[in-house]
Homo-oligomer: A and B are copies of this chain.
Amino acid sequence: MTHHRLNYVEALHAHGYRVTPQRVTVLDAVCRAGGHARPAQILALAREGDLHIDRSTVYRSLEVLVKAGLVLTAPGESGIDTLYEIVQETPHHHLRCTVCGRETELDGESAARLFENLERETGYRLTGDHLMLTGVCPECQASSNNQVVE
């Protein structure tokens, strides 16, 4: 249960949100899902904790938790659906191979350097610390030359 470490009470209050049993249940569900989770999975896990929690409540809670910075979203495989993930101490990014589908985590350090450059160029302070990059992994590059079309 990761979320005991991050004080969700403070995070919610800081954003003007109330702490309700339902929101804690949903937060817990996202934690227990581990890694990326689809809404359906979160709904199911949430109902293990609260048998009668409503679907709309789960969706609304997710929205609140994301805004409070407790949960992250990431685009799913197809780029159409949305995945949810509990926030971690160390920011990280994802690298998905479009050929074999495998996913690698990219530590925040390499990304931080890149962000620094971008911040210098644009003047923005970048906060989106959870990118989903896509590419072709070394193994797949080696084994196939016929996938390159574009």
Identify the A interface with B (CB < 8 A).
11, 14-15, 63, 66, 69, 73, 75, 78-80, 82, 95, 97-98, 104, 106, 110, 113-114, 117-119, 121-128, 131-138, 141, 149-150
Report the nearest B residue to A81, measured CB to CB. Answer: B82
Please classify the interface of chain A as helix (H, G, I), strand (E, B), loop, or mixed, using the class held by over half of its residues. mixed
A79 and B73 in contact, given A124-B95, A124-B136, A125-B136 (Cβ under 8 angstroms): yes
Are A63 and B78 in contact (CB-based, < 8 A)? Answer: yes
- Alpha-carbon separation in the docked complex, A63 to B57 (Å): 30
Are B134 and A128 in contact (CB-based, < 8 A)? Answer: yes
- Alpha-carbon separation in the docked complex, A15 to B126 (Å): 36
- Alpha-carbon separation in the docked complex, A106 to B32 (Å): 37
- Alpha-carbon separation in the docked complex, A126 to B106 (Å): 13
- Alpha-carbon separation in the docked complex, A79 to B117 (Å): 25
Please give, as numbers and ranges, the residues of chain B lying within 8 Å of A106 by CB-CB distance.
118, 122
Report the nearest B residue to A82, measured CB to CB. Answer: B80
CB distance from A124 to the nearest CB of B (A): 4
Are A113 and B122 in contact (CB-based, < 8 A)? Answer: no
CB distance from A108 to the nearest CB of B (A): 13
